[in-house]
Structure 1
Amino acid sequence: GPAYYRATFNLEEAGDVFLDMQTWGKGMVWVNGKAIGRFWEIGPQQTLFMPGCWLKKGENEIIVLDLLGPEKATIKGLDKPILDMLRAEAPMTHRKEGENLNLKNEKPVASGTLKPGNGWQEVKFDAPVKARFFCFEALSSQNGNDNAAIAEFYLLGENGKPLSRQHWQIAYADSEETRGGNFTADKIFDLQESTYWSTARGDKYPHQVVIDLREEVVVSGFQYLPRAEEGYPGMVKEYKAYTKMSPFKF
């Protein structure tokens, strides 16, 4: 997830250089307090021009904000920019080929029906449970269509307040729409109510999304936000929620 990285480097002499950001995801760089630019994993945005006048002999400081997280937290100086090299795109979806979630022997911690309408809805469990993995299963939609959508999703802690989502990762999503836009399941915790997870057209209910919380927590319920548009498209009606300390079976 998003994080800042800080390092220092020493120069015998200062001069123009291109910073090689190939092993990083997407974000911004500051050197000696000056904003150098944004990097991204496409052609010209993989290197950033660093004017020599902003560097100095001796110790220099570099700070990187990476929104996605790097493969390797290293930066090299280059004589020339990278302009036309494409990086192979990793699959955007969160389901391996042939992978099917098996909930047959799992007991839900909650099940019920959400009320139709825009805005947040909150569900409280009968009792708090320990969890490392959480599965939300959508059984039907409010409008009777096959599509399921979630704009934002929070788990509630023992005190009833939302838990931090900083380290969350999607372990599995049965269906994600990527042909008509980027509607992958990680949109449910990206802090933006205008983006959302949406299942692919034609994929039928039930739909499931599994979150790896990356830490052991106590969960007492959840909050669900449907899409903000009129008619709350894709809003889930009937649901089940599952928690586990070990990974779900596939």
Structure 2
Amino acid sequence: MSDLIGRTALVTGASRGIGQAIAVRLAARGAVVAVHFGTDEDGATATVDRIVRAGGAAYAVGAELGVDADVETLFAGVEAGLAGRPLDILVNNAAAPPAGALGATTRAAFDHLFAVNVRAPYFIVERALPLFRDGGRIITISSASTRMANATQTSFAMTKGAVETMTLTLANQLGVRGITVNAVAPGATRTATNGPVFDTPGLTELITGMTALGRLGGPDDIADVVAFLASDAARWVTGQVIDATGGLFLGPRS
């Protein structure tokens, strides 16, 4: 499928995992993709190389998020790569991981979570909008943690709740330009980075036992949902949080 030919995309946190899968999928469908990385330049280079080897077009952009001048640094690289072209698709994927339970999360860790997971996406959208063509797509990666009580992820879930609210309000604001704004909420998704976590004895069995489709998710499962939202097929979908968990924790399974 080549329905994104002629379009450009920025995917944050695309050096590995879900972000990498999203960048590869959008490029495979024809988009020129800005592959953002925070610290993993080698991973971003590998993502770009993978895209180019498959016949796509991409370039790497480095910027640590959650620090002063992060958005300015990011868009200096993005605009250089765009070379005067507009931006069509923004995927806010980069995020800091859970910092611990109430009483264990330090103020510094809490502030870092909100700086990366909330402040950065908000101001990335703001900075991107002047570059956007009407009819563009903004997609933010949320989490199933917003609908499931998990004491070890309270502060993390708060950040994802914030971007879900941002999604709703921006969809209403930007609809006049034909820009759709949606979020995707993954559940337990195994990647090369977090794989060892799921090797904990009994954990995978516990999670899959609570999942309607009976398995862990993978990066491609999320990338396919994002690619749909980025396409013309999703032109009438906006202000939504798409649950992409395989039916995690829907209720008792008999």
Q: Which has the larger radius of gyration?
A: 1
Confirm or deny a common fold (TM above 0.5).
no
- With the shorter chain as reference, the TM-score category is under 0.3
Larger strand proportion, structure 1 or 2? 1
